Amino acid sequence: MPAILLVLASCSGSKTVTSLTETEVAGMVNAKDFAFRAEQMLPSGGRTRILNEAYLFRVTPQEVVSDLPYMGRAYSATIGSSDGGMRFTSKNYTYQQTPGKKNSWNITIYPKDQSDVRECLLTVYSNGTADLLINSNNRQQIRYNGYIQANAKQ
């Protein structure tokens, strides 16, 4: 009987716990070299969606790459885009980092070469969990919850 309870307890939690130390998280944030993995999508005016696939928002010193899904209201159609996701690559962006509350970092990314995405607001906590809010010029804002991880080495 105790073995069954142990198995049930280990399977019931869906929240990811990262194994990063505060020093590792600080190193990735300061180096502008990490990937945010979205686990939940919180559209404006909609219900929370659990994301089962690996959707990433990658930050490197050279570029920001977003491959995230989107649900919400669009104010104008994007010409030439067929998928409707929050997908873009920016090679010309501003990265502003400020200390947040309780050992966290507030990161604001302004993609200068994107007409739809105005700003990306990322809050990274010392244990590696993170929240991302993307403000768009043509769509409702959307929020994602997840965690950061090291970028895959090429």
Residue pair 66/42 in contact by the 8 Å Cβ criterion: no
The count of other CB atoms within 10 Å of the CB of residue 123 is: 15
Q: How far apart are CA 83 and CA 80, in angstroms?
A: 10
pLDDT digits (tens, 9 = 90+) for 48-75: 999 998 999 999 999 999 999 988 777 7
Cα Rg of the chain (Å, integer): 17
Q: CATH code at 50?
A: 2.40.128.410
Q: Kindly give the parts of the chain with pLDDT less than 70.
A: 1-18, 77-84, 154
pLDDT digits (tens, 9 = 90+) for 124-135: 999 999 999 999
Task: Give the residue numbers spanning the domain of 34.
Answer: 20-149
> Quick check: is 8 in a domain?
no
